[in-house]
Amino acid sequence: MAERRYTKDHEWIELNGAIGTVGITNHAQEQLGDIVFVELPAGGKKLTKGGEAAVVESVKAASEVFAPVSGEVVESNPEVSKNPALVNQAAEAGGWFFKIKVANPKEVSELMDAATYKKFVETQH
Amino acid sequence: MGDTAVHSLRKTPLHALHVELGARMVPFAGYDMPVQYPAGILTEHNHTRAQAGLFDVSHMGQARLYGVAADKAIETLVPGNIVGLALTRIRYTVFTNDQGGILDDLTIGRAGDHLMIVVNAACKEADYEHMRRGLPKGMRLEVLEDRALLALQGPAAEKVMARFAPDAAKLTFMSFASMKVAGLDCTVARSGYTGEDGFEISVPAKHAEVFARKLLAEPEVKPIGLGARDSLRLEAGLCLYGHDLDTTTTPAEGDLGWTIAKRRREEGGFPGDKIILKQLAEGPPRLRVGIKPDGRAPAREGTVVLDGKGKEIGKITSGGFGPTANGPIAMGYVARGKTSIGTQLGLVVRGSTLQAKVAPLPFVPHRYKKA
C-alpha cells in the first residue's frame, strides 16, 4: 500500500503512480463537526500547491481545503457530493475528495509522514 | 484562539458541568460557552425537535425593575405595549435609539411588584446603563447576578418539567410564574428560542448544577450547545441580535411591526418613534426576509444578495444549514419591492451566483403551547 503524507492544513494525500488521492484528515473532520456540503474541483482543473482546491461546510461554518501539491484534477468523489456526512464517517477512506495527477512527486515526499503529522496534531492543543 | 482572551472569559454556574460532559467550549459574548457536546450539532438539533434539549443560557442578563408605574416608565425606552401587559404575561420587544435603530431585543414579564427583564449577554451591561440613565428617578433596577438561566426545549419538555413542578405544565406560551422546581425557588417561563414548546427556568446559581444534573438524568433530556441553538432559532425565523438586528436596523425593517401595538403606533413616545412609525405606515426601505437557496450550498452571514438582474439589493445576516428544513436556509435584508415570497434572488458565494428565493418564515413551524 502506498504511503500517506499529510499537510499542516490537515489534508492527506496518497500517491499511486502519478495519481494522488486527496482528502481531509480524521482530525480535521472531528474539528469541523457535522459536514453538510462539500464543493469539489471538476476534472481537468489545475491546482497549485497551497491554493484553494475545495470547500467543506459544517453546520457552523465554511472551510477551505487546500491543494497539498500542484497538479491537475483527474476526478472528484461523487459519493461525498451526494452524501457529505461520508466525510465524517470515513475521512481517510471512502470520504476522499479528489484525485490529482501530481506535477512533481517530490512535493509529496516533502510532506509530513503519519508519525510526524500525529505529533503535529498533538502540539496543536 | 488567544490565550489571554480565554483567561478573561466569564464562566456560567454550569461551566464545570459542560467541561465534564465533553463540550467544545468557545468564547461567546464574553463567556466561555459550549458550542457543542460530543453528540454534535446535527444530533443535538434533531434531539431538541424530537425530545427535549437542555440549554445553558445563564450568560443572558436577568433583572427586575421595581417602581411605581414601571410599565409606563419602560415604555419610554421600548415600542412594546407594556402598560397593557397582563399579570404573569411576557412580551418580546426591543430597546430603540433616536435613529430608530435597535440597541437590543429583550423580553419583559409582569410580576406582582416588578417587571422581569431578560436581555442578551453581549448587551447586558449597556442595557442596564441605558435603563438606569433613561428611566425616571424612583425606579430601581435589580440585576440578578446570582441566578442561572436554563432552557428546556422540545416536545417532551412539558412532560419532564411536570415531574419536577406540576404547575409548570399549566403555563401557556409567554407566561411565567414563581414556583418550586425540584424543591428550589425558581421562576419558570413558558418560552424559549427554538420554535419548540419549552421552558426557561431561572434558578439560584448555587443550585444550578445539581438542578441541571437532575434534568439531564431524565431519559428525554440531552445537553444542547450554542451551535444547535443557532440552527434551531434560524429555522424558527427568530432574530439573533448583532446579526439580524443591530443599531442600523429599525423594528420596521426587521419585520418586528407585530411587536408594536396599535396604541403605541398612535401615541409614539419611544426613541426613534417618528422614523419607525413612518416606516411602518409607508413600508420600510428594506425588509428582513427568509431566503432559501435553490441548491445545497449554504450562504453565510455577509453574503451579498442580488436581484434577478444581478443588481445588489441586500445582504444575508444569518445563514447556514437547517437540519429539520433539510437544506440551506438564511435570513437577510432585501430592498423594498423584492420582498414578496418567491422573488428570485442571487447569492454571491465564493465568486459564483447561486440561485435563491424569498421564502416564508419560519422555515419550520412553531409548536408553542398557546392558551
Whether residue B4 is predicted with pLDDT greater than 60 in this model: the reply is: no
Whether residue A30 is predicted with pLDDT greater than 60 in this model: the reply is: yes
Other beta carbons within 10 angstroms of residue B362's beta carbon come to 17
How close B249 comes to chain A (CA, Å)?
A: 24
For B100-160, give the DSSP string. Answer: S-EEEEEEEEE-SSSEEEEE-GGGHHHHHHHHHHHSPTT-EEEE-TTEEEEEEESTTHHHH
Q: List pLDDT tens digits, range B43-90.
A: 999 999 999 999 999 999 999 999 999 999 999 999 999 999 999 999
In this prediction, residue B227 carries a pLDDT of: 97
In this prediction, residue B6 carries a pLDDT of: 54
Report percent pLDDT > 90 for chain B.
97
Confidence of residue B5 (pLDDT cuts 50, 70, 90): low
Residue of chain A whose alpha carbon sits nearest to that of B36:
A33
Interface-testing mutation among B41, B43, B229, B349, with chain A (most A C-beta atoms within 10 A): B41
Nearest-CB residue to B41 (from A33, A37, A57): A33
ipTM of the complex: 0.88
AA letter at A47? L
In this prediction, residue B37 carries a pLDDT of: 97
In this prediction, residue B104 carries a pLDDT of: 98
Residue range(s) occupied by CATH 3.30.1360.120 in chain B: 3-59+145-235
Measured distance CA(B335)–CA(B314) in Å, rounded = 6
In this prediction, residue A124 carries a pLDDT of: 82
* Interchain CB contact of A51 with B (< 8 Å): no
CATH code, A81: 2.40.50.100
How close B294 comes to chain A (CA, Å)?
A: 14
Q: Which residues on neighbouring strands pair with residue B94, listed in sequence order?
A: B105
Whether residue B315 is predicted with pLDDT greater than 80 in this model: the reply is: yes
Domain limits for position A79: 4-123
Residue range(s) occupied by CATH 2.40.30.110 in chain B: 285-371
At the topology level, CATH places domain B285-371 in: Elongation Factor Tu (Ef-tu); domain 3 (2.40.30)
Whether residue B3 is predicted with pLDDT greater than 70 in this model: the reply is: no
Could you check whether the bond before residue A41 is cis, i.e. omega within 30 degrees of 0? Answer: no
How close B232 comes to chain A (CA, Å)?
A: 11
Count of domains in chain A? Answer: 1
Q: Are the beta carbons of B310 and B347 closer than 8 angstroms?
A: no
Average pLDDT across chain A, whole number? 95
Ranges of H-type helices in chain B? 3-7, 15-20, 41-50, 70-74, 124-134, 157-164, 205-216, 226-235, 262-267, 273-282
- The x, y and z cell numbers of residue B28, run together, are 461567546
Confidence of residue B155 (pLDDT cuts 50, 70, 90): very high
Report percent pLDDT > 90 for chain A.
94
Contacts of B35 in chain A (CB under 8 A): 60
AA letter at B40? G
Measured distance CA(A89)–CA(A30) in Å, rounded = 10
Highest CATH level, class, for B3-59+145-235: alpha beta
Measured distance CA(B182)–CA(A90) in Å, rounded = 44
Sign of CA dihedral A27, B38, B241, B58: negative
Q: What is the mean pLDDT of residues B285-313?
A: 97
Of residues A42 and B4, which shows the higher confidence score?
A: A42
Classify residue A3 by its DSSP letter.
Answer: P
Measured distance CA(A116)–CA(B9) in Å, rounded = 34
In this prediction, residue A2 carries a pLDDT of: 74
Average pLDDT across chain B, whole number? 97
Q: What is the mean pLDDT of residues B289-299?
A: 97
Residues contacting B175, CB < 8 A, separation 6+: B88, B89, B90, B189, B190, B371
In this prediction, residue B2 carries a pLDDT of: 43
Interface-testing mutation among B296, B318, B349, B354, with chain A (most A C-beta atoms within 10 A): B296
Classify residue A40 by its DSSP letter.
Answer: -
